[in-house]
Every structure is written in structure tokens, then in C-alpha cells.
Amino acid sequence: MSFTNPLMLIGLAAILVPIIIHLFNFRRYKTIYFSNVQMLEDIQKKTKRASQLQQLIVLLLKILGISCLVLAAAQPFLRGSNKNASKGNAISIFVDNSFSMETESKNGSRLYDAVDAAKSIVQAFDFSDDFVLTTQDLTGEESHILNKDQVLEMLDRITVSPNSHSFKEIHTFENHTLHSSNKENVIHYYISDFQKNNFDLSELRNDSSSHIGLIPAPAEMVSNVGVDSCWFLTPIFKLDNTVTLIARIHNYGSEEVQKVPVKLHVNEKQKAIAAIDIPAGGYADCHLTYRIDEPGTNCGKVSIEDAPITFDNDLYFTYEVSDNSVISVIYEKEPNRFLSALYGKDSVFTYQSMSYQQINYTQLRQSDVIVLNEVPAVSSGLSDELTKFLKTGGTLLVFPSSKADKSVNDLLASLNVGRFGNLAKSTLKCKVLNSESIYFKGALESTDARVDMPQTLQHFAISGGANGNEIIMALEDNSPLLVSYPAESGKVILSAVALNDDFGNAHRHALFFVPLHNIGIMNAAQQKLYNLIGIDQMQRVFIPSDGSEEALALRARKGGEEFIPEQRRLGNETALYFHNQAHTSDWYDIVRGGQVLGTLAFNQNRRESDLSCYTESELKQIADELGDNISVISADTKNIAKSVSDSLNGKPLWPWFLVLSLLCFLAEIAVLRFWGKPALNE
């Protein structure tokens, strides 16, 4: 126990006064004469014993009453966990304003309760203290030291945010801001529902120098069903193609849900509908099949109906449908008639060819697939152009030349893909067709031994390259006949044979031309189907340059929200950096000069969909395990200011001593008033 005014304890000397009075009774007695002395002596003995007990009790009550009164004046208290409060406080308050805090509570919503609790905390401190207010937004305004009035003003402006950050990110952001404060006593308060998938509180184990208060904002547990993600089975987006979209629907509740209707809309038209059953705490994948009937940018949305949590009921996505693919073939002397027949006669391709000595780089930059057909040498200019092309997600298909020099393999080495080795002059048949490859999948009914396979008379060995290569076709000796490598953002596909009779009959065989055809229609680099707000911060888009210096802007179709992202030109592509500027789930048109050049999709982070939260008892158990500097404070706004004050400055005891002093004096009066006096007339 400590005292705020310890000098007041000098007043304890006052207890000597009743002691002295008790020891030296200054009362004068009168002598009264009686005729019967024997009767008087008997009464006197009884009165003396009772009087001595009474005087002793009164003395003790006086001493106790005076002592309690002096102790109350000295203001005693029990020390709290914060022993450096006198050195100035730097208070960091985190108010969780994520979607999960929007659920109802006894007083309205959990966010309103959290703001009220934060105000109570602020009121418990002085105007000389420093404050930091942090939310899920982590804005620039939150990275500054505030005074008491400023933090109260900011609390009134807090609204629900689509952002959701991990506890480590929040704690790191706060500590970085607090470095600019010169106050020695650092205190963190976290007001949240403490979702289990967001708050890894073990991060606090490394923060033993500050006091930490966890303030849970409890609410009744509600079940939730949301659209988690979606993807296509095959990335082929051509007119009149039938595609299958898989939508994953997640049930975050503790009970199974049945016959959940799932709807698919593309370009505002309903394309498919299904009903699925989802197990408790699990998910189900819904297959939605439809036909592509519109070119250009297609805007889709997967929807369900679920309340009261609605932000994850819709999932927006986009994809590009091109009328045809641009195939550019670079040759040595003359165009290859087999490639001309494959790509030049098909309406889904735009075919163009050029000599390796007379390359039209303007046309080359517009290509989706570039074919190096028996090119004997690659110039430094062409090498640079092909590298840029692959960075934009293009596909490079290479057929070897017997006259190729070192520059061809130098190009392949710079891309970290396989290189052409020695020419093996042996007759081999194709043995393996990778039916699971996207270039074969769905094109073969059977791959048994009776199927006629391509045969080679000679072939180049292909070796080396980074991991992740895919063998599309292989020969009898297990060497690759056609193999794909990832390179930059695109792909490099190498053929072990050239398209002429010297290498066998592959150039005339249908099984060899199946993957070549699919390479052409699958080449277009598809952008991401959608971005998650707060997680995905960049996307590359193909926006042809028109010479304009006007910046690209993103404009939401429904709410009209508009912002200008950071943008960098990368060859044929433009990289857009969002920096958390998108806030609502929607399709966002890419606009320049009033013209719509494309569309991106943004969705809220699904991290907030799981409403499983730590209870107050679980938080207390975690706090006990992590350290003595961590405490859990009840979120009752009526008592939170007192709880904060007690945890910092200790529990005040003077009211109890004052009450005890009054009780002692009242007891003394009662003893003097009601204790029976000797009855002289008995």
C-alpha cells in the first residue's frame, strides 16, 4: 500500500490525546454520605467493572476512528501494473472498424461500443499525454502523435472499413508511430472482437516494455455463408466456347446449410443457377457452365443470399474475350507452309510472317504468340524485344535450326529455360502424350498404344532450364519432343524437331498440330479475374498507347467511386498500383479521356467472413501466458474509465478508510448513548 500524501500520516500523533485522557482522568468526584454503607459498596463494585470496560471500548474506537481519518487524508492506494505513469504517457488506441464489428450488440453495433470505450480511455488520461489512434485503415493521419482533443475528434469520424490487416501489421504500425513520442510510459489498448483468424496475439510476447490492455467487444455469435472465390476450369475465352466457372461457397456456421441458391450473371444477364448443400464449418464447389456470347471485356458476378453478413454475398470478376489471336512467325528464308496452313487459314488467328533480317517490331509488339521458325541467329535487338514480350505474358514458340549459332541458346539461357543440345540422328516414335496438359486436355478420346504416333528421324536434345517445365509430348527414350517452360510472365515452348521432312513426319501429323493449335488460342495473357481489397495492390493491364499524357483512372460502376492509381508503362502493358484506394466491391472501369479502355473487379477481403472470436475468458488465459504486462479489461463503458485508471495508478483506498472512520465515531456515540449506566435506585 502506498500514499499520495504521506506527510499527512503525522496526524497519527493525535491518537495520544484520547490515550492521555484515559490514563489521567481529570474528572472530580463528589462525596455522598449514606447511612447503609454495605449496600452502597456492593453497587459501587458492579458499576466500576462496567465503567472500565466501557471506557476501554470507547478509547479503542476513538483511536481507530482518528487513525482511519488520518489515513484517509493521506490517500492510500494499491499500486497498479504501471509504475512509470508519472513520467508521461504515450497511449496507443486501436479501434477495430472492420466489417465484423458492424454486427449488432446490446447498445447498437460493436463499432459504436468500441468508439465509446475508446473515448472513456482517453478521458482517463491528462491533456499532457500523447495519443495515437489506429484503425484497420492505417492511413497517413493515423501515423501522427495527437493530443486529447484531436483523438476525441478522430474517434467521432470512425466508420466501418473494408480493410482488414493482421495483428502483426497493426502492432508494427503503432510502434513505428510511437517512436516520435518522448513519453517514457507506453500503453497499448486494443478494442476489437478479436477474430481468431486475424489476431495472433503471440506477437505481444516480444513487447514487454509497455503496458497492454485487451478490451473485447462481444456480440452474439451469428452464422455466415459467403462466396469465397471462383476460377475457370480452362483459361480459354473465345466466342461461342462453353466454359465452366467453379465458385467456392463457404459455410462459417456450426450447422449444415442446404439448398443454397447460387446465381451467375455475366454482363448483367443471368447465365447459370445452381443449389448446393454446405457442411458446417466447410465449403462446397459449385460448377456453373455457360456459353460465351459477347466479345471484349466480360463482367461477371457470383451471388448468394445470406443475412445479416452481406459483404461476402457477391463476388465480382472480369475476363477478356478476344475475337482472334495475333500469331507472328519469324523465318530464315521463306514462310513455312505448314505454319501458314495451321494459323493462316483459321479465322480465329491473325497471321503475319517476316524474315529474321527484316523484322517489323511495331507488328511484333501486337502479337500474342511469336514463332521462331528455324531462325539461325538472334540479334541483340530481337533478344531484347522477345524478353519484353515475355514480360507482358506472351508465348514464344521455337523450332530449331540445324544452322543455328550460339545466339539462339544465349537467348534461351537468359530466359532460364531449356537449351538445344546435340542433334541425335535416330528414328524414334512419340511415346507419351500429356493428356492433362492444357494444350491437350479435352482434345483426346484415347491415348492407347494403337493410336498412330508421330515419328522422328532426328531430333535435338533439350536440357536445362528452371523448375516448373511441362513436357507436352515425349519420345521413346523419354526425351522431350515438345516442352513448355515458364519465362518472365509468359511461356517459352521448345520443339525438338523442325517442321520439315528431314526431321520425320511430325510436321504432317495431326497429334503434333493439336497442341500447336491450342498454343495459339490459349496464348492471350489473361488478367486476374479479380483483386482483393487490402491484399492485391498491383495489376498489369494491356492498354495500347495513344500518345496521350493523360493518366488512367479507375471508376466504380455502381457507387461512382473514382481514383487515379499509380501507373508505370511496361512495354505493351501498364502496371497499376492501387495502394488501398479501392474501398467497395464493384467493377471498376479503366478510363482515360472519358473513354473506357477496360474493366477490373475488386472484392472485399474474405478474411472478415469467419466470425469466430476469442471470448473474454480465452483472452485472459492468453494474457496470463504471455506476460504480466498484459491485462484484459471489460468493455462495459460505465466502468472502463475506472478500470483504466486503477490499472495505471492503482486502486484508491481512502474512501474505505473514510467510511471506516465514520463508523468508528458512530459506534463510539452508540456506546456512550446506549451502554447502561449504574442504576443507583435499584
How far apart CA 386 and CA 448 sit, in angstroms, is 38
- Residue by residue, DSSP assigns 558-610 as TT--EE--EEEEETTEEEEE-TT---SSEEEEEEETTEEEEEEEEE--GGGG-
| Short-list 169, 172, 14, 1, CA closest to 75 | 1
- Per-residue pLDDT reduced to its tens digit, 237-267: 878 888 999 999 999 988 899 999 999 999 9
Residue 546 carries which DSSP code?
-
User: Does residue 175 form part of some domain?
Assistant: yes
Residues 121 and 167 reside in one and the same domain: yes
Within 200-352, residue ranges assigned H as helices are: 337-344
**pLDDT value at residue 543:** 76
In angstroms, rounded to a whole number, what is the distance separating the alpha carbons of residues 507 and 516?
10
Report residue 625: phi and psi, to 5°. Answer: -75, -30
362/495 same-domain check: yes
Indicate whether 421 belongs to any domain.
Answer: yes
241 in Cβ contact with 292 (< 8 Å): yes
Here the cell at position 443 is 482434345
Residue 203 lies in a domain: yes
Last residue of a domain, one of 470, 490, 521: 521
Count the alpha carbons within 13 Å of 256 in the hemisphere toward its beta carbon: 7
Q: Which residues of the chain have pLDDT under 50?
A: 83-85, 525, 678-682
Q: DSSP per residue over 103-159, as a string?
A: SEETTEEHHHHHHHHHHHHHHTS-TTSEEEEE-TT--SGGGS-B-HHHHHHHHTT--
- The per-type count for the chain, helices as H runs and strands as E runs, is 13, 36
> Are 560 and 458 in a shared domain?
no
Residue 436, domain extent: 325-521
- For residue 627, the domain's CATH number is 3.40.50.410
531-532 and 76-78 beta bridge pairing: unpaired
* Residue 299's CATH number: 2.60.40.10
Q: What is the pLDDT of residue 663?
A: 86
Q: Is residue 98 part of a domain?
A: yes
Domain identity same for 437 and 451: yes
Per the domain annotation, does 598 fall within a domain?
Answer: no
Cell of 290: 455457360
Check whether residue 309 and residue 251 sit in a common domain. Answer: yes
Same domain for 247 and 178, yes or no, is no
pLDDT of residue 436: 79
Whether residues 138 and 286 fall in one domain: no
**Of 297, 322, 347, the domain-final residue:** 322
Q: Tell me, yes or no, whether 167 and 290 share the same domain.
A: no
pLDDT score at 421: 92
pTM value is 0.65
Q: Are residues 633 and 517 in the same domain?
A: no
Same domain, 239 and 138: no
In this structure, are strands 395-399 and 369-373 parallel, antiparallel, or unpaired? parallel
Domain check: are 200 and 245 in the same one? no
Q: Check residue 558 and give its pLDDT.
A: 87
Per-residue model confidence (pLDDT) at position 679 = 47
pLDDT digits (tens, 9 = 90+) for 213-225: 899 887 666 788 9
Is there a domain that residue 602 lies in?
no
Q: In the chain, how many domains are there?
A: 5
Residue 169 lies in a domain: yes
Tell me the per-residue pLDDT of 316-334, one tens digit each, with 9 for 90 and over.
Answer: 999 988 767 889 999 988 8
The answer as to whether 229 is a domain residue is yes
CB 163 within 8 A of CB 98: yes
Q: Which of 291, 322, 353 is the last residue of a domain?
A: 322
* Domain co-membership, 106 together with 211: yes
Helix axes 337-344, 510-521, angle to 10 degrees: 50
